[in-house]
Structure 1
Amino acid sequence: MLLGFFLGDPVELLGAAVLTVGMWLVGWALWRRSREAADRVGRVLLTVSASVLAVTMLLALSWALGHVVGTPNLPLEWMVATHGLANAVGFALCGLLAWQRVKEKVG
């Protein structure tokens, strides 16, 4: 996606699509791992982390698509408030807390 800022919107869309697919694969792996977590809290945290990725990466993809084909998309300030904040809290924080619980149960 970074190259898209220098090479144009179509490259940014391609980068967003590649990143979205990659993050959906991460979400899928987290979701699969959540079913194997030893405790309920760990399962919930991993499920939240995985689910947030599915939604926030759709926002990123729609934002990049909006720049290429002109579909309606959120302004940058709203992307920061939704995509950015949800990824920080829902994906990263919940994921880190979940992995800490998994580590404590195993170790």
Structure 2
Amino acid sequence: MGNMKCGRILVDGHIIPVAFSLNTPKIYKKAFKSDFWSDLAFESNRTEETYNISETNRRALQVVWSYAKTADSKIQRLDRWAKQFNNVTGVFMVKQLENFLMNEG
């Protein structure tokens, strides 16, 4: 039950510790008052007609922040944490997370 997958992603020249555990969806829900799994499912089921880049980017940032918060409980809230990145979208960060999750090492 206490299993946690830990790793790092490189975003905009910053190495970001990330982790996923059973606690990650709880961190997400507490911070954003929304269901982690429902938001992920909603994003994956979007069609081109319903695609909104700013909303998708916001949700993607929230997901990545939740993984980072799982790895380091002391990180700042999302709006402050995201300021360290210049021109990187949340969607790009999610691609980095996907690589982390697919890597068994």
> Is the shorter-chain TM-score for this pair beyond 0.5, marking a shared fold?
no
**Counting helix residues as a fraction of each chain, which structure ranks higher?**
1
Q: What band does the TM-score fall into relative to the shorter chain?
A: 0.3 to 0.5
Q: TM-score, normalised by structure 2?
A: 0.34
Structure of higher CA gyration radius: 1
Greater relative contact order (CA < 8 Å, ≥ 6 in sequence):
2
Choose between structure 1 and 2: higher strand proportion: 2
- Normalised TM-score (structure 1): 0.33
